[in-house]
A and B are shown apart, each in its own frame.
Chain A
Amino acid sequence: MDYKFEQVKIVGGIGADDEFWRGLERGEFCLPTCASCNTWMWPAHFRCGSCGAWEMRWNVVEPKGKIFTWTRSWYAFDRVSERAEDVPYVSAVVEIPHAGGARVMGMFDGTMDGLNEDPRIGTDVVGHILPPSEKTKGYPSIVWRPVASGLRA
């Protein structure tokens, strides 16, 4: 499979998370563990700091978690100006308890059936995977929605 994000690679992070984005493009939420000692390693890295192993294993994980923190952006910042028309928008950091407490970012969407839930730390959320788009700089992405809203839908 040709992955779209690979043609627009953002350099700047650690750079060991290609499998995370490949997973999202396939529609899967994958997070890594150390292939030797099974420690969750997030963000992904090249060597396990716990046991010294060099291999990672990528696990398909259920995209469920709790809002760890969030911010609502009220300004069209330079390097994310693709989202100017969405201002104000909410970005969230979501803790995944069944993946060693890994914290994964995404957009937060509390709207559903005319209701609009504000983001709150601790709210249970479900991740919905979106295909690459201009707003996500050609990367696949996750939007986190409150579990309660999901049930209403």
Chain B
Amino acid sequence: MSKLRGAAAIVGIGQTPYYKRGASPHPELKLALQAIVGACEDAGIDPADVDGFISYASERNDAQKLMSALGTKEVRFASLAWIHGGGIPGALSIAAMAVATGQAKAVVVYRAMAESSTQRLRVMVAQGDTAAQYLVNGLESPAQILALRSQRMIEKHGVPRDTLKAMAQATYHHARTNPRAYGRNTVLDDETYDNARLISEPYNLFDCSRENDGACAVLVVSAEHARDLAKKPAYILSAPMGTLNGGGALEENIRPYSFAGQVGVATRMWAESGYGPKDVDVAQIYQNMTGMGVGSLIDHGFCTPENAGEFIRFDNLIVSGGTLPVNTSGGDLAEGFIHGMGLVAEAVRQIRGDSVNQVMGAKLSLMTGGPGDTMSSTGLLGSEETL
């Protein structure tokens, strides 16, 4: 087992509202400050005492720009996980390492996005690292590139197309009761889903994540420190990042191809945490696209391509009666999308017991990183009794 197992915990959550893309009343840097200060207030820690800053992907609001506004006494650690949305749980792992080794005492993991401050979200998410092979052939968006993966998952591996619909419907269902959720007014019945306009086959509009302005931050401290604070800690049991041989930035030459590219990190996470798929109480599944969420569930061993149609059903994915409630806040599709960071906050709320769609007695809370990314990560949070 890993030395990091339970060595650190998330003790604070801060979130701005989800704004319509391009409509944030504040620039990105201010949103980042609001989320970070919010996480500190939630934890009962003075923002000036935050000494570690970690984000992922193309985050531009670095410690250097934040520190004077926070009154930071000293920046002792700052880092960026080198991935896109795949990097989120991995960023938690870096934070855990920083506090467990004493490099820092209070580390924020955060992401802030506002279109007016930078570029279109989908351009920014791509970070200018799209190869000519794609752009020459009419492919630029994650929606299109991931559509290639899901098309093969359905057509070659026989995973039913309806699993994508089940993921979308469960997610939108949970958003209905979340006042923060951007998509809470959408009733995603069969007719609405089936008649939605196509984006890139096999995906339609409801298979795609939203684009929002906003910011979200969580505060990570050592397990010892966490026990002295106000909120119930969500311990980081394991949050490995990486990819197996055959993965990486390979212009659709990754092997294996379909699903989420998370077999390696999922296997390590189960081994490091000592738990398995059957033990998980609730899961926040990053869904850039529904089909990739299906791939994550398969890669994590919740089901196989053969029985995915039986497991990934609406009834089985919702809080009332499902064996694996997913995306209980509405997730990337229906709550809002700040590059997936909102999923971490919800994974923590489930451990605390104060989600708007609470899974009763939830002790093990999973958050998977961006599926189909060139590299990815996944994370398991637990309450004190899971240590």
Contact = CB atoms under 8 A, between A and B. Distances in A.
Nearest to A9: B132
A151 interface: no
Contacts of B149: 69
A140 to B, nearest CB: 8
Interface string B122-162: 11001011111111111111011001110110011000000
Given A12-B128, A14-B131, A74-B199, A93 B136 contact: no
Of B126, B133, B144, B253, most buried by chain A (CB within 10 Å of CB) is B133
B253 A139 contact: no
Contact of A83 (B138, B143, B155, B198): B138
> Main SS of the interface on chain A?
mixed
Interface stretch (B15-23, B244-252, B320-328): B244-252
Given A10-B131, A74-B197, A79 B152 contact: no
Given A73-B200, A78-B122, A80-B138, A121 B132 contact: no
A36 B133 CA distance: 26
B199 A14 contact: no
B335 to A, nearest CB: 23
Contacts of B126: 79
Given A78-B140, A91-B137, A14 B200 contact: no
B199 to A, nearest CB: 5
A139 B133 CA distance: 10
A28 interface: no
Contacts of A79: 123, 126, 130, 135, 140-141
A14 B249 contact: yes
A120 interface: yes
Contacts of A103: 251-253
Interface residues of B, number: 39
A105 B201 contact: no
B253 A102 contact: yes
Given A73-B200, A79-B123, A79-B130, A106 B137 contact: yes
Interface string B186-227: 000000000001111110000000000000000000000000
Given A69-B152, A78-B123, A121-B152, A107 B132 contact: no
Contacts of A11: 128
Of B123, B143, B201, most buried by chain A (CB within 10 Å of CB) is B201
A65 to B, nearest CB: 13
B231 interface: no
24 contacts: A10-B135, A10-B136, A11-B128, A12-B132, A13-B131, A13-B132, A43-B133, A69-B151, A71-B139, A71-B201, A71-B202, A72-B200, A78-B141, A79-B130, A79-B135, A83-B138, A91-B139, A103-B252, A103-B253, A105-B133, A105-B137, A107-B138, A120-B155, A135-B138
**Which 6 A/B pairs are nearest by Cβ-Cβ distance?**
A13-B131, A71-B147, A79-B140, A74-B198, A69-B152, A10-B132
Interface of A: 10-14, 17, 21, 42-43, 68-75, 77-80, 83, 86, 88-89, 91, 93, 102-107, 120-121, 135-137, 139, 141
Given A105-B133, A139-B136, 15 more contacts: A13-B133, A13-B249, A42-B253, A68-B257, A71-B144, A74-B199, A77-B143, A78-B123, A80-B138, A83-B138, A91-B148, A93-B252, A105-B136, A105-B252, A135-B138
